[in-house]
Amino acid sequence: MKNLLVYIKDYKKECVLGPLFKLLEAGFDLTVPLVTAAIIDYGIANEDKGYIMKYGGILLLLALIGLACSITAQYFAAKAAVGFAANLRHALFSHIEKLSFSEIDQIGTSTLITRMTSDINQVQSGVNMALRLFLRSPFIVFGAMILAFFIDIQAALVFAIVIPLLALVIFGIMGISMPLYKKVQGALDKVLGSTRENLTGIRVIRAFHREAEEEEQFCRENNFLAKSQLFVGRIAALTNPVTYVMINGALVVLLWISGIRVHAGSLTSGEVIALINYLSQILVELIKLANTIVLSNKALACAARIESVMSVQSSLAVREAGQSETAVGKRGQVVFENVSMCYQGSQEPSVTMVDFTAEPGETIGIIGGTGSGKSTLVNLIPRFYDVTEGCVKVDGQDVRSYPIKELRERIGIVMQKAVLFKGTIRENLLWGNENAGEEELMEALELSQSIEFVEKKEDGIDSFVEQGGRNLSGGQRQRLTIARALVRKPEILIFDDSTSALDYATDARLRGGLKRLSYRPTIFMVSQRTSSIRHADKIIVLEDGEVIGIGTHDELLENCQVYAEIHYSQYQKDKGAASGKEEESENR
Amino acid sequence: MKTDNQKKTIRKILNYIRKYWWLILVSLFFAAITVVLTLYLPILTGDAVDAMVEEGRVDFRVLKELLVKMSVIIVITGIAQWLMNTANNKITYMVVRDIRRDAFYKIQRLPLKYLDSHSSGDVVSRIIADVDQFADGLLMGFTQAFTGILTIVGTLFFMLMTNVWITLVVVLVTPLSLFVAAFIARKTHSMFQKQSEARGEQTGLIDEMVGNQQVVQAYSHEEKALARFDVINKRLEKYSLRATFFSSITNPATRFVNNLVYAGVGISGAFFAINGYLSIGKLSRFLSYANQYTKPFNEISGVLTELQNAVTCAGRVFALMDEREEVEKIPPREQIGTATGAMEIEHVDFSYVEDKPLIQDLNLSVKPGQRVAIVGPTGCGKTTIINLIMRFYDVNRGSIKMDGRDIRDLSRENLRSQYGMVLQETWLKDGTVLENILFGRKDASREEAVEAAKLSHAHSFIKRLPQGYDTIVKENGENLSQGQRQLLCIARVILCRPSILILDEATSSIDTRTEMQIQSAFQKLMANRTSFIVAHRLSTIKNADIILVMKDGKIIEQGNHEELLAKKGFYTNLYMSQFAAD
């Protein structure tokens, strides 16, 4: 929480005024019993109607002022809390934007979204409540006690004894039950897990007719949950009765002492009523305080989670723009020098000792089985991850010496997952280059083989794309992401297994178009199909992160067994090149 | 106000609660005791105050008597309160347990038609979140509604017994707080709506930008994203402030009304006291009632929304439990021991949605041991055939026969135990590798499981796992690759030695080279068994005895690979398309 407090500094005034007005209100609350005592002891005793009216009027006035104070306090508290949350959201979002792929992988996207939304909301209501109640409740408790001492020291001793005792009991029960509640939550998570597992596996479960065992397992977990809930419930149910007995026990003692004091003439009955009143005020505030603590504990836990995200530093040391050294190498050249890369938290490197050069304008094919390190390799070029050993050079210069933005502007990457954003097709294409003109957009659409379906749409290039591109087919989405990369006219074009949803004919036309590009980008083509890369200038075969073959298609068929196996698993050896797969990819 | 639906839901809730009727009696009994004694205490307190009139005029005998009485009452109240709370807890958690259990049982009996058309997230949230909400509402309702009403009635009764006129003051002013609370709630409703709209919009943006950070960073779009974020953030701040502030007025406002009541009682009570109609002790009694009286009103208005919410949540759970179950023809005639593997599909019509026919007049005859492959474009009904022969869905017309018996005449268990099924998604249970292999046949020994693993080529990687066969398979299977998970699924099927094998896109998410290795496991599995293979890659199915080429729910071509190629029809096109394009 401490590190998050900077985001509330714009609201210092509100943070002081809110509790202040709350204290004023509490002060008025505390005077009410005194006024009542005055009415009883003087007004009634002297049968003074004017006095009663006057003091009754004061009671009404106190109620009104109290209302005004507390509304003011609520406003300042709300303003500070809401403003704080807005600042925090801004800061967190901009922080997340700066994180590199490794950090995002590690934290997880869904976690980040929870931090941004529900956690911040929790913190907001926690701050709001803390500003209102954290000062008020103790103030009333101690205020009531002090005023009781002013009324009568002996009678007030009851307060001095019962308040610490009450606090001990309330917080003691809380302290015992809170860890137990965590256990209950664990049991609930188990029940939830079982339900989800059962639903996702329902076909398998039915195929193996294991319904009865599933029911039995669920029953066990469900019963355990009920049992732990009952156990905690029994303890938590103690809070109210125990506090009731204690505070009213104190009342009995108070009445007895009062009796003695009244008999001695040092206490009036109006004052006795005031003391009784204070006692009940204290009870109410202590219970409120306990609730506040539970809620603020939750808020603090959320704050800690947010802080832990904030404390993650981007592992990419980013250079500021304008600092770049002039590139010395050829435009579009990419060099891998003994590159090894190991993901955070994993022991085995994903890429080991990769060493090759891609000359400007060349097409490099990269192939290998699932998990062989193909994507990792190309992700090193735009510096989505940093190498662990060796270095990657673009235009003759280490990628780590570029300002990130400058480096990435040279590169167009089409990822495996075809992601589009809510907005029009045009807006999506402009991501590639916001200054691109109409002609350039059309060119990119044509080259990516998307012009046909885009023109068929009612609004053409200005048609709306729903979030995640839901209203487009997989193939259409993929072609648009290719167009987006082409709009950029990059020096280096990377296709990360991103033509899998295209049928062979489209794929071939696309590859033909790329060959004819006037600015001759260096192309990296990652694929699982040998047909997509067989015409590449160089093909790199990866297995378990190691390069086990570099060469042209024909060379590799000759001397790289893995490549040959991959190829023949797709093209039956006996039938030459006559066979293919993925007959339905276009429709997905 | 209540619709029929709500009435029905409430009746069902009551049905669940009825089982615990004696606990309810306990709860009501102790609640009544608690309320009456709690209200009686201010009377005794007042009498005690009256016992100490002024200096030298304190009646210690009476005072002592009163205080002893109070002590006893206090202790009894405390015990009664605890018993009431405990009974309420028990009722709530038991009812919740029963509902969850029944809902889960229900899922096991629901037709796949329902489960396929509802997202599992939705069903889970009904069983977990909705039932939880319902429990909260029920617990609150139980503890507060009854005691609240009883407190109001009791307070009125005790106040009327003391003084009618002052009671009138209290009764007239108190409802004000209800009006104020309702008024504020109505006013803030639209603000909350705007707040949640802005929140939704912002979450959408966060989801899009953070979820696709790779693209955002690849195109250096961070600053623009932040700018868009800030616009929404400012708007959210504005609406949030209004909603938070206006809703937080409720408490001060009701407290204000409470203070008004207090002042009113103070003034009028004082006048009655002057005229001798009211003792000081009785005035103190009134003051303490005035303090208590508004509380149950506020609580009850809270309880009402809570209960309404609980009924809505319960309604969602009961909607799930009201779904029609799969029915078993009773009594099933004698069952098949081990099927030979002969299957007949005769004139079958089927559709998922009523007026959208999918499969029409499907006919197929499979002899024992034959390999049947099904190919065709997405959505042509390949997986549907599997759904029908497994009887996950029932045919609309026609019949499917196994060994000459209509599968609807067999019990589902008997029918399904003839099959072994491997799906594209490799579902494994949270448990050890061994438990997962034994999933299909729980009576098998560890040795048999290892044997099955060897046959499926899984043994060698299992051996290398940290705890071998006792390694825990994690939920998302991080510790196993997709291919390894698939091999475990195959071992699972091998262990049950089914008569008929079903492979539905079983290798489509695996790269071709790994697939070749898995294929050899399949070959062993398929030897001498009837098998149905739905395939993505044509290379997988070239050796099948019968290839069914499906399009739009119909079999348009049928034969083996060579025959189909000779026909130069749809299959040939499918087969040659990639070749032509290359």
Q: Give pLDDT, residue A422.
A: 87
From A449, A471, A546, A533, select the one nearest A496 (Cα to Cα): A533
- Residue B422 pairs in a beta bridge with B503
**Radius of gyration over alpha carbons of chain A, in Å?**
36
DSSP-assigned states of every residue in A180-215: HHHHHHHHHHHHHHHHHHHHHTHHHHHHTT-HHHHH
Fold assignment, A329-410+492-504+513-574: Rossmann fold (3.40.50)
Same domain? B14 vs B151: yes
Per-residue pLDDT tens over the stretch A99-138: 887 787 777 777 788 888 888 988 998 999 888 888 888 9
* CB neighbour burial string for B46-72, b if at least 16 within 10 angstroms, e if fewer: bbbbbbbbeeeebbeeebeebbebbbe
CB atoms within 10 A of CB B228: 14
Asked whether residue A584 carries a pLDDT value surpassing 60, the answer given is no
Contact between chains at B214 and A201 (C-beta distance less than 8 A):
no
- Interatomic CA distance for residues A136 and A69, integer angstroms: 13
Read off the CATH number of the domain in which B305 is found.
1.20.1560.10
**Two tokens at B95?**
């009812």
- Interatomic CA distance for residues B137 and B131, integer angstroms: 10
Asked if residue B367 belongs to a domain, the reply is no
Chain A residue with CA closest to B253: the answer is A67
Per-residue pLDDT tens over the stretch B265-278: 999 999 999 988 88
For residue B582, give the nearest of A209, A415, A577 by CB distance.
A577
Residue pair A375/A312 in contact (Cβ under 8 Å)? The answer is no
Contact between chains at B513 and A272 (C-beta distance less than 8 A):
no
Q: Give pLDDT, residue A289.
A: 83
Element (H, E) at A546: strand A546-551
DSSP-assigned states of every residue in A324-368: PPPP-S-TT-EEEEEEEE--TT-SS-SEEEEEEEE-TT-EEEEEE
Asked if residue B466 belongs to a domain, the reply is yes
- Interatomic CA distance for residues B106 and B69, integer angstroms: 55
Peptide bond into B331 cis (omega under 30): yes
Cβ contacts (< 8 Å) between B85 and chain A: which residues? 233, 237, 240-241
* CB neighbour burial string for A123-144, b if at least 16 within 10 angstroms, e if fewer: bbbbbbbbbbbbbbbebbbebb
Cβ contacts (< 8 Å) between B194 and chain A: which residues? none
**Two tokens at B542?**
């070239």
pLDDT tier for residue B56 given thresholds of 50, 70 and 90:
confident
CA angle B35, B36, B39 (to 5 degrees): 85
Q: Give pLDDT, residue B64.
A: 94
Asked whether residue A74 carries a pLDDT value surpassing 80, the answer given is yes
Cβ contacts (< 8 Å) between A229 and chain B: which residues? 89, 93
Chain B residue with CA closest to A39: the answer is B270
Cβ of B577 under 8 Å from any chain A Cβ? yes
Asked if residue B489 belongs to a domain, the reply is yes
Tracing tokens 């590159």 back to the chain, one arrives at: A339
Share of chain B above pLDDT 90, in %: 21
Cβ contacts (< 8 Å) between B259 and chain A: which residues? 32, 59, 62-63, 66
Chain A residue with CA closest to B235: the answer is A86
Per-residue pLDDT tens over the stretch A455-484: 888 888 999 988 777 788 777 888 899 999
Contact between chains at A222 and B496 (C-beta distance less than 8 A):
no
- Between strands B343-350 and B371-375, the pairing is unpaired
Q: Give pLDDT, residue B330.
A: 61
Q: Give pLDDT, residue B44.
A: 93
Q: What is the pTM of this model?
A: 0.74
**Two tokens at A25?**
């209100």
Q: What count of Cα atoms within 13 Å lies in the side-chain half-sphere of residue B15?
A: 10
Asked if residue B172 belongs to a domain, the reply is no
From A113, A102, A93, A4, select the one nearest A314 (Cα to Cα): A102
Asked whether residue A576 carries a pLDDT value surpassing 60, the answer given is no
pLDDT tier for residue A224 given thresholds of 50, 70 and 90:
very high
- Interatomic CA distance for residues B184 and B178, integer angstroms: 10
pLDDT tier for residue A562 given thresholds of 50, 70 and 90:
confident
Tracing tokens 């006291």 back to the chain, one arrives at: B273
Order of all β-strands in the sheet with B371-375: B419-423, B500-504, B530-534, B371-375, B546-551, B554-559
- Interatomic CA distance for residues B133 and B122, integer angstroms: 15
State residue B374 phi and psi, 5-degree precision.
-125, 120
Asked if residue B522 belongs to a domain, the reply is no
| The 3-state secondary structure of B318-387, one letter per residue | HHHHCCCCCCCCCCCCCCCCCCCCCEEEEEEEECCCCCCCCEEEEEEEECCCCEEEEECCCCCCHHHHHH
- Interatomic CA distance for residues B132 and B134, integer angstroms: 5
Same fold, A329-410+492-504+513-574 and A416-489: yes
**Two tokens at A80?**
């500070």
List all residues of chain B from 472 to 501 with a beta carbon under 8 Å from chain A. 475, 481-483, 492, 496
Residues B47-59 have a mean pLDDT of: 87
Asked if residue B384 belongs to a domain, the reply is no
**Domain coverage including residue B456:** 427-497
Q: Which of A426-430, A437-441, A554-558, B337-341 has the lowest mean pLDDT?
A: B337-341
Number of structural domains in chain B: 2
Tracing tokens 């071998």 back to the chain, one arrives at: B468
**Radius of gyration over alpha carbons of chain B, in Å?**
36
Per-residue pLDDT tens over the stretch A352-388: 889 999 999 999 999 987 667 888 899 899 988 888 8
Chain B residue with CA closest to A250: the answer is B71
Asked whether residue B472 carries a pLDDT value surpassing 70, the answer given is yes
CA distances from A353 to A316, A336, A349, A546, B389 (A): 21, 9, 10, 7, 52
From B511, B512, B506, select the one nearest B526 (Cα to Cα): B506
For an interface test with B, give the residue of A25, A263, A575 to mutate (most B CBs within 10 A).
Answer: A263
Asked whether residue B581 carries a pLDDT value surpassing 50, the answer given is no
Asked if residue B171 belongs to a domain, the reply is no
Cβ of B575 under 8 Å from any chain A Cβ? yes
- Interatomic CA distance for residues A384 and A381, integer angstroms: 8
- Interatomic CA distance for residues A377 and A374, integer angstroms: 5
- Interatomic CA distance for residues B474 and A584, integer angstroms: 32
Contact between chains at A566 and B513 (C-beta distance less than 8 A):
yes
- Residue B399 pairs in a beta bridge with B346
**Two tokens at A546?**
């190691």
From A299, A379, A355, select the one nearest A84 (Cα to Cα): A299
Same domain? B310 vs B445: no
State residue A498 phi and psi, 5-degree precision.
-105, 20
Angle between helix axes B21-51 and B280-321 (nearest 10 degrees) is 170
Asked whether residue A443 carries a pLDDT value surpassing 50, the answer given is yes
Per-residue pLDDT tens over the stretch B498-515: 889 888 877 655 667 667
Cβ contacts (< 8 Å) between B515 and chain A: which residues? 569
DSSP A318: P
Per-residue pLDDT tens over the stretch B64-85: 999 999 999 999 999 999 999 8
Cβ contacts (< 8 Å) between B536 and chain A: which residues? 581-584
Residue pair B41/B74 in contact (Cβ under 8 Å)? The answer is yes
pLDDT tier for residue A580 given thresholds of 50, 70 and 90:
very low
From B515, B451, B438, B434, select the one nearest B482 (Cα to Cα): B515
Top CATH class, A2-152+267-310: mainly alpha
Asked if residue B241 belongs to a domain, the reply is no
From A356, A396, A352, select the one nearest A376 (Cα to Cα): A352
CA distance B67 to chain A (A): 6
Q: Between A397 and B355, name the one with better pLDDT.
A: A397
End-to-end CA distance of chain B: 69
Read off the CATH number of the domain in which B464 is found.
3.40.50.300
Q: Between B485 and A249, name the one with better pLDDT.
A: A249
DSSP B504: E
Cβ contacts (< 8 Å) between B217 and chain A: which residues? 97, 101, 384, 408
Q: Please check whether the domain covering A416-489 is classified as CATH 3.40.50.300.
A: yes
Coil, helix or strand at residue B175: helix
Chain B residue with CA closest to A271: the answer is B49
The average confidence (pLDDT) of chain B is: 84
Cβ contacts (< 8 Å) between B511 and chain A: which residues? 369-370, 528, 566
As for the ipTM of the complex, it is: 0.82
Asked whether residue B37 carries a pLDDT value surpassing 90, the answer given is yes
Q: Is A407 exposed, middle or buried (0-12, 13-18, 19+ CB in 10 A)?
A: buried
- Interatomic CA distance for residues B523 and B484, integer angstroms: 17
CA distances from B441 to A211, B417, B502, B534 (A): 13, 10, 17, 25
Per-residue pLDDT tens over the stretch B321-356: 888 887 766 655 677 788 888 899 999 998 887 777
| The 3-state secondary structure of A504-531, one letter per residue | HHHHHHHHHHHHCCCCCCEEEEEECCHH
Tell me the domain boundaries of chain A: 2-152+267-310, 329-410+492-504+513-574, 416-489
From A346, A339, A403, select the one nearest A377 (Cα to Cα): A339
pLDDT tier for residue B543 given thresholds of 50, 70 and 90:
confident
Chain B residue with CA closest to A247: the answer is B74
- Interatomic CA distance for residues B365 and B369, integer angstroms: 12
- Interatomic CA distance for residues A569 and B512, integer angstroms: 6
Same domain? B17 vs B158: yes
Residues A3-29 have a mean pLDDT of: 91
Count each helix (H run) and each strand (E run) in chain B, helices first: 22, 12
Angle between helix axes A49-98 and B175-211 (nearest 10 degrees) is 10
Asked whether residue B139 carries a pLDDT value surpassing 80, the answer given is no
Tracing tokens 């509640």 back to the chain, one arrives at: A181
What CA dihedral angle connects B439, B440, B444 and B450, to 10 degrees? -70
For an interface test with B, give the residue of A10, A281, A487, A584 to mutate (most B CBs within 10 A).
Answer: A584
Q: What count of Cα atoms within 13 Å lies in the side-chain half-sphere of residue B166?
A: 31
Contact between chains at B538 and A237 (C-beta distance less than 8 A):
no
Residue pair A110/A395 in contact (Cβ under 8 Å)? The answer is no
